[in-house]
Amino acid sequence: MNAPMTQAASTRAIDTEWVRAQFPSLKVAVNGRPAAFLDAPAGTQVPQRVIDAFREYFETSNANTVGQFLTSRRTDEMIAGARAAMADFFNCTADEVFFGPNMTTLTFALARGIGRDLKPGDEIVVTTLDHDGNVAPWRALEDIGIVIRQADIHVEDCTLDMDDLRKKITWRTKLVAVGYASNAVGTINPVGEIVRLAHEAGALAFIDAVHYAPHGSIDVRALDCDFLACSLYKFFGPHMGCIYGRRELLLKFRPYKVRPAPAYLPDRWETGTQIHEGLAGVTAAVDYLADFGRHSDAAAARSRRAALTSAHGAIRSYEMELAKRMIAGLIAISGVRFFGISDPARFSERCPTVGIRVKNLTPLACAKFLGDRGIFTWDGNYYALNLTERLGVEETGGLLRIGLVHYNTAEEVDRLLAAMEELAASA
Protein backbone atom coordinates (compact mmCIF):
# COMPACT_ATOMS: atom_id res chain seq x y z
CA MET A 1 0.00 0.00 0.00
CA ASN A 2 1.17 3.57 -0.63
CA ALA A 3 2.23 5.45 2.46
CA PRO A 4 -0.90 7.19 3.79
CA MET A 5 -0.96 10.90 3.03
CA THR A 6 -1.41 13.29 5.90
CA GLN A 7 -4.83 14.85 6.41
CA ALA A 8 -3.41 18.29 5.60
CA ALA A 9 -1.83 17.13 2.38
CA SER A 10 -4.77 15.05 1.27
CA THR A 11 -7.87 17.15 1.78
CA ARG A 12 -8.85 20.72 1.00
CA ALA A 13 -10.08 22.10 4.28
CA ILE A 14 -13.73 21.77 4.97
CA ASP A 15 -14.94 21.99 8.54
CA THR A 16 -15.38 18.25 9.01
CA GLU A 17 -16.12 18.74 12.69
CA TRP A 18 -19.03 21.09 11.88
CA VAL A 19 -20.29 18.71 9.20
CA ARG A 20 -20.15 15.60 11.37
CA ALA A 21 -21.80 17.36 14.29
CA GLN A 22 -24.89 17.85 12.08
CA PHE A 23 -25.39 14.09 11.62
CA PRO A 24 -26.39 12.33 14.86
CA SER A 25 -26.24 8.82 13.39
CA LEU A 26 -22.49 9.14 12.71
CA LYS A 27 -22.11 8.33 16.41
CA VAL A 28 -23.33 4.76 15.88
CA ALA A 29 -20.67 2.34 17.13
CA VAL A 30 -19.86 -1.28 16.25
CA ASN A 31 -17.99 -3.25 18.90
CA GLY A 32 -16.90 -0.03 20.56
CA ARG A 33 -15.58 1.62 17.37
CA PRO A 34 -17.43 4.37 15.49
CA ALA A 35 -19.12 3.09 12.35
CA ALA A 36 -17.58 4.21 9.06
CA PHE A 37 -20.52 4.91 6.76
CA LEU A 38 -19.05 4.15 3.33
CA ASP A 39 -22.48 3.11 2.07
CA ALA A 40 -23.70 6.52 0.86
CA PRO A 41 -24.55 5.42 -2.71
CA ALA A 42 -27.36 3.35 -1.18
CA GLY A 43 -28.54 6.28 0.95
CA THR A 44 -26.85 8.94 3.08
CA GLN A 45 -27.29 9.79 6.74
CA VAL A 46 -29.47 12.80 7.59
CA PRO A 47 -28.66 15.96 9.56
CA GLN A 48 -30.54 16.67 12.79
CA ARG A 49 -32.65 19.33 11.10
CA VAL A 50 -34.22 16.73 8.77
CA ILE A 51 -35.22 14.65 11.79
CA ASP A 52 -36.59 17.81 13.47
CA ALA A 53 -38.58 18.73 10.35
CA PHE A 54 -40.48 15.42 10.50
CA ARG A 55 -41.34 15.92 14.17
CA GLU A 56 -42.29 19.57 13.75
CA TYR A 57 -44.54 18.81 10.80
CA PHE A 58 -46.49 16.23 12.81
CA GLU A 59 -46.61 18.49 15.89
CA THR A 60 -47.76 21.68 14.15
CA SER A 61 -49.02 21.17 10.60
CA ASN A 62 -50.32 17.66 10.00
CA ALA A 63 -53.27 17.83 7.59
CA ASN A 64 -54.29 17.24 4.02
CA THR A 65 -53.91 20.03 1.46
CA VAL A 66 -56.10 22.98 0.40
CA GLY A 67 -58.36 22.92 3.46
CA GLN A 68 -59.85 26.04 5.04
CA PHE A 69 -58.05 25.80 8.37
CA LEU A 70 -54.67 26.46 9.94
CA THR A 71 -52.84 23.12 9.69
CA SER A 72 -53.96 22.60 6.10
CA ARG A 73 -52.71 26.08 5.15
CA ARG A 74 -49.43 25.32 6.87
CA THR A 75 -49.19 22.10 4.86
CA ASP A 76 -49.77 24.02 1.61
CA GLU A 77 -47.05 26.49 2.56
CA MET A 78 -44.70 23.70 3.55
CA ILE A 79 -45.18 21.96 0.16
CA ALA A 80 -44.59 25.24 -1.68
CA GLY A 81 -41.41 25.58 0.39
CA ALA A 82 -40.20 22.12 -0.67
CA ARG A 83 -40.78 22.96 -4.35
CA ALA A 84 -38.93 26.26 -3.95
CA ALA A 85 -36.03 24.45 -2.27
CA MET A 86 -35.71 21.93 -5.09
CA ALA A 87 -36.11 24.71 -7.67
CA ASP A 88 -33.01 26.31 -6.13
CA PHE A 89 -31.28 22.94 -6.13
CA PHE A 90 -32.01 22.35 -9.84
CA ASN A 91 -32.00 26.00 -10.98
CA CYS A 92 -35.55 25.91 -12.36
CA THR A 93 -38.95 27.29 -11.36
CA ALA A 94 -40.99 25.77 -8.54
CA ASP A 95 -43.79 24.56 -10.84
CA GLU A 96 -41.27 22.43 -12.76
CA VAL A 97 -40.63 20.22 -9.69
CA PHE A 98 -42.76 17.25 -8.70
CA PHE A 99 -42.35 14.74 -5.90
CA GLY A 100 -43.14 11.10 -5.16
CA PRO A 101 -41.95 8.20 -3.02
CA ASN A 102 -38.75 7.53 -5.03
CA MET A 103 -37.11 8.02 -8.42
CA THR A 104 -38.18 4.63 -9.76
CA THR A 105 -41.90 5.12 -9.12
CA LEU A 106 -41.81 8.63 -10.58
CA THR A 107 -39.90 7.50 -13.67
CA PHE A 108 -42.35 4.67 -14.34
CA ALA A 109 -45.20 7.21 -14.08
CA LEU A 110 -43.46 9.73 -16.34
CA ALA A 111 -42.52 7.04 -18.90
CA ARG A 112 -46.11 5.79 -19.03
CA GLY A 113 -47.34 9.35 -19.53
CA ILE A 114 -44.82 10.06 -22.29
CA GLY A 115 -45.61 6.66 -23.85
CA ARG A 116 -49.18 7.80 -24.53
CA ASP A 117 -47.83 10.16 -27.17
CA LEU A 118 -45.43 7.68 -28.78
CA LYS A 119 -46.21 5.22 -31.57
CA PRO A 120 -44.95 1.73 -32.38
CA GLY A 121 -41.49 1.88 -33.97
CA ASP A 122 -40.46 5.02 -32.07
CA GLU A 123 -37.15 4.49 -30.31
CA ILE A 124 -35.73 5.22 -26.87
CA VAL A 125 -32.02 4.96 -26.09
CA VAL A 126 -30.85 3.67 -22.69
CA THR A 127 -27.34 2.70 -21.58
CA THR A 128 -25.42 -0.25 -20.15
CA LEU A 129 -24.00 1.97 -17.41
CA ASP A 130 -27.34 2.89 -15.87
CA HIS A 131 -29.23 1.79 -12.78
CA ASP A 132 -32.31 -0.20 -13.78
CA GLY A 133 -34.48 2.65 -12.49
CA ASN A 134 -33.47 4.46 -15.69
CA VAL A 135 -33.85 1.39 -17.89
CA ALA A 136 -36.87 -0.69 -16.85
CA PRO A 137 -39.42 2.19 -16.97
CA TRP A 138 -38.44 2.83 -20.62
CA ARG A 139 -38.22 -0.89 -21.45
CA ALA A 140 -41.79 -1.24 -20.16
CA LEU A 141 -42.84 0.77 -23.22
CA GLU A 142 -41.82 -2.20 -25.39
CA ASP A 143 -45.32 -3.46 -24.52
CA ILE A 144 -46.72 -0.73 -26.80
CA GLY A 145 -44.22 -1.30 -29.61
CA ILE A 146 -41.48 1.16 -28.61
CA VAL A 147 -38.02 -0.03 -29.65
CA ILE A 148 -35.32 0.23 -26.97
CA ARG A 149 -31.71 0.63 -28.07
CA GLN A 150 -28.93 0.27 -25.53
CA ALA A 151 -25.64 2.17 -25.78
CA ASP A 152 -22.61 0.15 -24.71
CA ILE A 153 -19.64 0.99 -22.46
CA HIS A 154 -15.87 0.71 -22.64
CA VAL A 155 -15.29 -2.21 -20.29
CA GLU A 156 -11.70 -1.21 -19.55
CA ASP A 157 -12.63 2.05 -17.76
CA CYS A 158 -16.44 1.76 -17.38
CA THR A 159 -17.15 4.88 -19.42
CA LEU A 160 -19.93 5.25 -21.96
CA ASP A 161 -19.02 4.34 -25.52
CA MET A 162 -19.93 7.69 -27.06
CA ASP A 163 -19.44 6.41 -30.62
CA ASP A 164 -21.96 3.67 -29.97
CA LEU A 165 -24.33 6.16 -28.35
CA ARG A 166 -24.04 8.49 -31.36
CA LYS A 167 -24.86 5.56 -33.68
CA LYS A 168 -27.89 4.56 -31.60
CA ILE A 169 -29.39 8.05 -31.63
CA THR A 170 -31.20 8.42 -34.98
CA TRP A 171 -34.17 10.31 -36.42
CA ARG A 172 -36.36 7.55 -34.91
CA THR A 173 -35.17 8.34 -31.38
CA LYS A 174 -37.76 10.10 -29.25
CA LEU A 175 -35.93 10.08 -25.94
CA VAL A 176 -32.44 9.44 -24.61
CA ALA A 177 -32.32 8.23 -20.99
CA VAL A 178 -28.90 8.51 -19.41
CA GLY A 179 -27.39 8.66 -15.93
CA TYR A 180 -25.44 11.69 -14.74
CA ALA A 181 -23.13 9.37 -12.78
CA SER A 182 -22.87 5.61 -12.27
CA ASN A 183 -24.01 4.37 -8.87
CA ALA A 184 -21.77 1.29 -9.23
CA VAL A 185 -18.40 2.55 -10.47
CA GLY A 186 -18.66 6.34 -10.15
CA THR A 187 -18.24 7.37 -13.81
CA ILE A 188 -19.62 10.85 -14.56
CA ASN A 189 -21.11 10.93 -18.05
CA PRO A 190 -20.75 13.88 -20.45
CA VAL A 191 -24.42 14.71 -20.01
CA GLY A 192 -24.27 18.18 -21.59
CA GLU A 193 -22.93 16.60 -24.77
CA ILE A 194 -25.53 13.82 -24.64
CA VAL A 195 -28.39 16.33 -24.25
CA ARG A 196 -27.05 18.16 -27.30
CA LEU A 197 -26.91 14.92 -29.34
CA ALA A 198 -30.47 14.05 -28.31
CA HIS A 199 -31.79 17.49 -29.23
CA GLU A 200 -29.97 17.49 -32.59
CA ALA A 201 -31.90 14.31 -33.42
CA GLY A 202 -35.17 15.90 -32.26
CA ALA A 203 -35.30 13.67 -29.16
CA LEU A 204 -35.86 14.50 -25.50
CA ALA A 205 -33.18 14.00 -22.84
CA PHE A 206 -33.97 12.39 -19.46
CA ILE A 207 -31.12 12.52 -16.92
CA ASP A 208 -30.98 10.24 -13.88
CA ALA A 209 -29.06 12.41 -11.42
CA VAL A 210 -29.72 10.18 -8.40
CA HIS A 211 -26.11 9.25 -7.94
CA TYR A 212 -24.64 12.61 -8.93
CA ALA A 213 -26.76 14.81 -6.64
CA PRO A 214 -24.71 14.40 -3.41
CA HIS A 215 -21.47 15.07 -5.28
CA GLY A 216 -21.91 18.00 -7.63
CA SER A 217 -23.97 21.03 -8.55
CA ILE A 218 -26.91 20.48 -10.90
CA ASP A 219 -28.08 23.18 -13.29
CA VAL A 220 -30.92 22.03 -15.53
CA ARG A 221 -30.91 25.30 -17.46
CA ALA A 222 -27.21 25.04 -18.29
CA LEU A 223 -27.62 21.34 -19.16
CA ASP A 224 -30.72 22.15 -21.22
CA CYS A 225 -32.15 18.72 -20.32
CA ASP A 226 -35.87 18.02 -20.56
CA PHE A 227 -36.23 15.92 -17.42
CA LEU A 228 -33.91 15.21 -14.51
CA ALA A 229 -34.59 12.88 -11.60
CA CYS A 230 -33.05 12.51 -8.18
CA SER A 231 -33.78 11.02 -4.78
CA LEU A 232 -33.53 13.03 -1.59
CA TYR A 233 -32.33 10.11 0.50
CA LYS A 234 -29.12 10.04 -1.53
CA PHE A 235 -28.27 13.60 -0.56
CA PHE A 236 -28.94 13.92 3.14
CA GLY A 237 -32.73 14.01 2.97
CA PRO A 238 -35.68 11.70 3.53
CA HIS A 239 -36.82 8.78 1.39
CA MET A 240 -38.44 10.83 -1.38
CA GLY A 241 -38.00 11.12 -5.13
CA CYS A 242 -38.14 14.28 -7.20
CA ILE A 243 -38.21 15.13 -10.90
CA TYR A 244 -37.55 18.35 -12.79
CA GLY A 245 -39.50 18.62 -16.02
CA ARG A 246 -39.41 21.38 -18.61
CA ARG A 247 -42.62 23.36 -18.10
CA GLU A 248 -44.08 22.98 -21.59
CA LEU A 249 -43.40 19.24 -21.60
CA LEU A 250 -45.05 18.69 -18.22
CA LEU A 251 -48.09 20.44 -19.67
CA LYS A 252 -47.94 18.63 -23.01
CA PHE A 253 -47.61 15.03 -21.80
CA ARG A 254 -50.59 13.42 -20.10
CA PRO A 255 -50.08 11.65 -16.77
CA TYR A 256 -52.38 8.85 -15.64
CA LYS A 257 -54.33 10.54 -12.88
CA VAL A 258 -57.61 10.40 -10.99
CA ARG A 259 -60.19 12.80 -12.42
CA PRO A 260 -60.68 15.17 -9.46
CA ALA A 261 -56.92 15.67 -8.98
CA PRO A 262 -55.49 18.97 -10.26
CA ALA A 263 -54.61 19.26 -13.95
CA TYR A 264 -52.32 22.22 -13.31
CA LEU A 265 -48.58 22.12 -12.76
CA PRO A 266 -46.86 20.43 -11.13
CA ASP A 267 -49.56 18.68 -9.12
CA ARG A 268 -50.84 16.87 -12.21
CA TRP A 269 -47.79 14.55 -12.03
CA GLU A 270 -48.26 13.76 -8.34
CA THR A 271 -50.69 10.88 -7.85
CA GLY A 272 -52.54 10.66 -4.55
CA THR A 273 -51.62 12.24 -1.24
CA GLN A 274 -47.95 13.08 -0.92
CA ILE A 275 -45.59 12.12 1.93
CA HIS A 276 -46.02 15.46 3.68
CA GLU A 277 -43.55 14.86 6.49
CA GLY A 278 -41.00 13.83 3.88
CA LEU A 279 -41.57 17.07 1.99
CA ALA A 280 -40.84 18.99 5.19
CA GLY A 281 -37.58 17.04 5.31
CA VAL A 282 -36.78 17.98 1.69
CA THR A 283 -36.54 21.67 2.57
CA ALA A 284 -34.46 20.86 5.64
CA ALA A 285 -32.01 18.79 3.57
CA VAL A 286 -31.57 21.50 0.94
CA ASP A 287 -31.19 24.13 3.68
CA TYR A 288 -28.54 21.98 5.36
CA LEU A 289 -26.51 21.98 2.14
CA ALA A 290 -27.00 25.72 1.69
CA ASP A 291 -25.86 26.35 5.27
CA PHE A 292 -22.85 24.14 4.67
CA GLY A 293 -22.11 26.32 1.61
CA ARG A 294 -22.37 29.48 3.71
CA HIS A 295 -20.25 27.92 6.44
CA SER A 296 -17.56 27.05 3.89
CA ASP A 297 -17.69 30.35 2.00
CA ALA A 298 -19.17 33.47 3.58
CA ALA A 299 -19.54 35.11 0.16
CA ALA A 300 -22.10 32.42 -0.68
CA ALA A 301 -24.64 33.97 1.67
CA ARG A 302 -26.27 35.93 -1.17
CA SER A 303 -28.96 33.43 -2.16
CA ARG A 304 -29.78 29.80 -1.46
CA ARG A 305 -28.82 28.84 -5.02
CA ALA A 306 -25.42 30.57 -4.63
CA ALA A 307 -24.91 28.87 -1.27
CA LEU A 308 -25.76 25.47 -2.80
CA THR A 309 -23.28 26.03 -5.61
CA SER A 310 -20.59 26.88 -3.04
CA ALA A 311 -21.48 23.80 -1.02
CA HIS A 312 -21.08 21.57 -4.05
CA GLY A 313 -17.77 23.22 -4.95
CA ALA A 314 -16.40 22.53 -1.48
CA ILE A 315 -17.83 19.01 -1.48
CA ARG A 316 -16.35 18.17 -4.85
CA SER A 317 -12.79 19.19 -4.03
CA TYR A 318 -12.88 17.56 -0.58
CA GLU A 319 -14.41 14.32 -1.86
CA MET A 320 -11.99 13.99 -4.74
CA GLU A 321 -8.96 14.35 -2.47
CA LEU A 322 -10.40 11.58 -0.30
CA ALA A 323 -11.08 9.52 -3.43
CA LYS A 324 -7.46 9.91 -4.57
CA ARG A 325 -6.27 8.59 -1.24
CA MET A 326 -8.72 5.68 -1.31
CA ILE A 327 -8.16 4.67 -4.94
CA ALA A 328 -4.36 4.88 -4.72
CA GLY A 329 -4.52 2.70 -1.61
CA LEU A 330 -6.92 0.16 -3.12
CA ILE A 331 -5.07 -0.40 -6.38
CA ALA A 332 -1.82 -0.88 -4.46
CA ILE A 333 -3.28 -3.87 -2.59
CA SER A 334 -2.31 -7.17 -4.18
CA GLY A 335 -5.38 -9.18 -5.18
CA VAL A 336 -7.70 -6.16 -5.60
CA ARG A 337 -9.23 -5.70 -9.05
CA PHE A 338 -10.46 -2.17 -9.65
CA PHE A 339 -13.30 -1.30 -12.05
CA GLY A 340 -13.60 2.15 -13.58
CA ILE A 341 -11.38 5.23 -13.84
CA SER A 342 -8.30 5.00 -11.61
CA ASP A 343 -6.00 7.64 -13.16
CA PRO A 344 -6.13 10.79 -10.99
CA ALA A 345 -5.59 12.90 -14.12
CA ARG A 346 -9.09 11.81 -15.19
CA PHE A 347 -10.86 12.27 -11.86
CA SER A 348 -13.03 15.04 -13.29
CA GLU A 349 -14.82 12.11 -14.99
CA ARG A 350 -15.66 10.31 -11.77
CA CYS A 351 -17.18 10.71 -8.35
CA PRO A 352 -15.89 9.03 -5.19
CA THR A 353 -17.79 5.75 -5.63
CA VAL A 354 -15.72 2.71 -6.49
CA GLY A 355 -16.41 -0.89 -7.46
CA ILE A 356 -13.80 -3.59 -6.77
CA ARG A 357 -13.32 -7.33 -6.46
CA VAL A 358 -10.88 -9.17 -4.21
CA LYS A 359 -9.24 -12.30 -5.61
CA ASN A 360 -10.83 -15.56 -4.41
CA LEU A 361 -13.53 -13.75 -2.41
CA THR A 362 -17.12 -12.87 -3.18
CA PRO A 363 -18.17 -9.26 -2.70
CA LEU A 364 -20.64 -10.55 -0.10
CA ALA A 365 -17.81 -12.07 1.96
CA CYS A 366 -15.85 -8.80 1.67
CA ALA A 367 -18.83 -6.67 2.76
CA LYS A 368 -19.42 -8.99 5.72
CA PHE A 369 -15.75 -8.87 6.76
CA LEU A 370 -15.83 -5.07 6.66
CA GLY A 371 -19.28 -4.82 8.26
CA ASP A 372 -18.11 -6.89 11.21
CA ARG A 373 -15.37 -4.29 11.69
CA GLY A 374 -17.82 -1.39 11.59
CA ILE A 375 -17.07 -0.42 7.98
CA PHE A 376 -20.31 -0.23 6.01
CA THR A 377 -20.10 -1.03 2.27
CA TRP A 378 -22.31 -2.83 -0.27
CA ASP A 379 -22.04 -5.92 -2.39
CA GLY A 380 -24.00 -7.05 -5.42
CA ASN A 381 -25.29 -5.13 -8.43
CA TYR A 382 -27.15 -2.28 -6.65
CA TYR A 383 -29.63 -2.58 -9.55
CA ALA A 384 -26.96 -1.56 -12.09
CA LEU A 385 -27.68 -4.95 -13.60
CA ASN A 386 -26.76 -4.16 -17.22
CA LEU A 387 -23.33 -3.14 -15.99
CA THR A 388 -22.53 -6.10 -13.74
CA GLU A 389 -23.66 -8.44 -16.53
CA ARG A 390 -21.52 -6.62 -19.10
CA LEU A 391 -18.49 -6.73 -16.77
CA GLY A 392 -19.03 -10.47 -16.32
CA VAL A 393 -19.31 -10.29 -12.53
CA GLU A 394 -23.04 -10.72 -12.03
CA GLU A 395 -23.00 -14.49 -11.62
CA THR A 396 -20.26 -14.36 -9.01
CA GLY A 397 -21.81 -11.74 -6.78
CA GLY A 398 -21.29 -8.42 -8.53
CA LEU A 399 -18.89 -5.89 -7.02
CA LEU A 400 -17.92 -4.55 -3.63
CA ARG A 401 -18.98 -0.89 -3.64
CA ILE A 402 -17.38 1.75 -1.44
CA GLY A 403 -18.86 5.24 -1.61
CA LEU A 404 -17.66 8.44 0.02
CA VAL A 405 -19.52 11.66 0.75
CA HIS A 406 -18.40 14.86 2.48
CA TYR A 407 -19.06 13.56 6.02
CA ASN A 408 -16.44 10.84 5.52
CA THR A 409 -12.87 11.41 6.65
CA ALA A 410 -9.30 10.51 5.72
CA GLU A 411 -9.15 8.48 8.92
CA GLU A 412 -12.10 6.35 7.76
CA VAL A 413 -10.41 5.82 4.40
CA ASP A 414 -7.25 4.66 6.16
CA ARG A 415 -9.28 2.29 8.33
CA LEU A 416 -10.86 0.85 5.21
CA LEU A 417 -7.48 0.42 3.51
CA ALA A 418 -5.99 -1.33 6.55
CA ALA A 419 -8.96 -3.71 6.71
CA MET A 420 -8.77 -4.37 2.97
CA GLU A 421 -5.07 -5.23 3.23
CA GLU A 422 -5.85 -7.69 5.99
CA LEU A 423 -8.71 -9.17 3.97
CA ALA A 424 -6.74 -9.49 0.73
CA ALA A 425 -3.77 -11.04 2.56
CA SER A 426 -6.07 -13.69 4.04
CA ALA A 427 -7.69 -14.61 0.70
Taking the complex as a whole, the smallest distance from the CB of residue 98 to ligand PLP amounts, in Å, to 14
Number of H helices, E strands in the chain: 15, 17
- The residues, ordered by sequence, that sit 6+ positions from 58 with a Cβ below 8 Å of its Cβ are 277
> Which residue's CB is nearer to ligand PLP, number 42 or number 162?
42
**What dihedral angle (degrees, nearest 10) is formed by the CA atoms of 16, 294, 76, 259?**
-80
Taking the complex as a whole, the smallest distance from the CB of residue 134 to ligand PLP amounts, in Å, to 6
> Which residue's CB is nearer to ligand PLP, number 39 or number 226?
39
Query: Any contact of residue 134 with ligand PLP (CB under 6 A)?
Result: yes
Q: Which helix (H) or strand (E) holds 378?
A: strand 378-380
- Are residues 242 and 99 in contact, defined by beta-carbon separation less than 8 angstroms? yes
Query: Any contact of residue 137 with ligand PLP (CB under 6 A)?
Result: no
Interface stretch with ligand PLP, choices 114-122, 130-138, 196-204, 335-343 (CB under 6 A): 130-138
Taking residues 160 to 179 in sequence order and writing x for each that binds ligand PLP by CB under 6 A, - otherwise, the string is -------------------x
Write the DSSP symbol of residue 253.
S
Task: List for the chain the helix, strand, coil content (%; round to 5).
Answer: 50, 15, 35
> Which residue's CB is nearer to ligand PLP, number 238 or number 374?
238
- Residue 417 gets the label, from left (phi > 0), alpha (psi -120 to 50) or beta, of alpha
DSSP-derived secondary structure for 225-252: -SEEEEEGGGTTS-S-EEEEE-HHHHHH
**Amino acid letter for position 259:** R
> Is the preceding omega at residue 266 within 30 degrees of 0, hence cis?
yes
- Are residues 179 and 198 in contact, defined by beta-carbon separation less than 8 angstroms? no
**Amino acid letter for position 68:** Q
> Which residue's CB is nearer to ligand PLP, number 132 or number 297?
132
> Which residue's CB is nearer to ligand PLP, number 123 or number 208?
208
> Which residue's CB is nearer to ligand PLP, number 4 or number 101?
101
Taking the complex as a whole, the smallest distance from the CB of residue 425 to ligand PLP amounts, in Å, to 32
Taking residues 179 to 218 in sequence order and writing x for each that binds ligand PLP by CB under 6 A, - otherwise, the string is x---x------------------------x-xx-------
- Are residues 194 and 165 in contact, defined by beta-carbon separation less than 8 angstroms? yes
Taking the complex as a whole, the smallest distance from the CB of residue 403 to ligand PLP amounts, in Å, to 10
Taking the complex as a whole, the smallest distance from the CB of residue 27 to ligand PLP amounts, in Å, to 25
Taking the complex as a whole, the smallest distance from the CB of residue 110 to ligand PLP amounts, in Å, to 13
Task: Choose, by CB under 6 A, the member of 81, 113, 115, 133 that binds ligand PLP.
Answer: 133
Taking residues 389 to 408 in sequence order and writing x for each that binds ligand PLP by CB under 6 A, - otherwise, the string is --------------------
Query: Any contact of residue 231 with ligand PLP (CB under 6 A)?
Result: yes
Give the chain's largest Cα–Cα span. 67
> Which residue's CB is nearer to ligand PLP, number 133 or number 238?
133
DSSP-derived secondary structure for 178-238: EESB-TTT-BBP-HHHHHHHHHHTT-EEEEE-TTTTTTS---HHHHT-SEEEEEGGGTTS-
Any idea how long the chain is?
427
> Which residue's CB is nearer to ligand PLP, number 61 or number 134?
134
> Which residue's CB is nearer to ligand PLP, number 232 or number 308?
232
Count of positions on this chain that bind ligand PLP (CB under 6 A): 13
Q: Which of residues 52-111 bind ligand PLP (CB under 6 A)?
A: 102-104
Taking the complex as a whole, the smallest distance from the CB of residue 355 to ligand PLP amounts, in Å, to 13
- Count CB neighbours of 252 within 10 A: 12
- Are residues 206 and 176 in contact, defined by beta-carbon separation less than 8 angstroms? yes
Q: Which of residues 239-258 bind ligand PLP (CB under 6 A)?
A: 241
Taking the complex as a whole, the smallest distance from the CB of residue 182 to ligand PLP amounts, in Å, to 7
> Which residue's CB is nearer to ligand PLP, number 76 or number 349?
349
* Positions that interact with ligand PLP (CB under 6 A): 102-104, 131, 133-134, 179, 183, 208, 210-211, 231, 241
